[in-house]
Homo-oligomer: A and B are copies of this chain.
């Protein structure tokens, strides 16, 4: 499940952050649309709710939430950069280079990798919302030319 709104706000308050209406708005949009949202998507939502934030502000708030570890920022390739609240448990995606299809996968896939990295390199990986590119079942069977 995802963070609840109240829990989220509480955690932010604890960290001494100012809860401006702009920040609440972006948080609400992220909480509602439990989806991949681009900056434009978020701006559209802002407008739809009768509000109005600068692009700059949206970028700044997303950056802030990302640095705090509440939001993931992921480049989905063709589909560009998207933001999403990091739920628990986390999830990740397989993205087909040919058809663009996006498959959601659980975090289990990455548990071994995480452990290995920790053990072998004493490195604490932040694998929050990975995009793995490749060829899906359908496209893998066709023979894809390089160009």
B137 engages A123 (CB within 8 Å): yes
Q: Which residues in chain A, 101-145, are within 8 Å of chain B measured between CB atoms? A: 103, 105, 109-110, 112-113, 116-117, 120-127, 132-137, 140
Q: Cβ of A64: which chain B residues have Cβ within 8 Å of it?
A: 147
Q: Cβ of A79: which chain B residues have Cβ within 8 Å of it?
A: none
Taken together as a complex, chains A and B put the C-alpha atoms of A92 and B117 apart, in Å, by: 12
Copies in the complex: 2
A125 engages B67 (CB within 8 Å): no
Question: Which residue of chain B has its CB nearest to the CB of A96?
Answer: B123
B117 engages A124 (CB within 8 Å): no
Taken together as a complex, chains A and B put the C-alpha atoms of A133 and B67 apart, in Å, by: 12
The tally of residues in A whose CB lies under 8 Å from a CB in B reads 34
B121 engages A126 (CB within 8 Å): no
Q: Cβ of A123: which chain B residues have Cβ within 8 Å of it?
A: 94, 96, 103, 132, 134-137, 140
B146 engages A117 (CB within 8 Å): no
Q: Cβ of A122: which chain B residues have Cβ within 8 Å of it?
A: 136-137, 140
Query: Cβ of A97 < 8 Å from any Cβ of B?
Result: yes
Among the listed B15, B116, B136, which residue makes an inter-chain contact with A146, where contact means beta carbons less than 8 Å apart?
Answer: B15
Beyond A94-B117, A112-B113, A123-B132, 9 additional contacts (C-beta under 8 Å) are: A64-B147, A68-B146, A94-B121, A109-B120, A112-B112, A121-B137, A122-B140, A123-B137, A126-B133
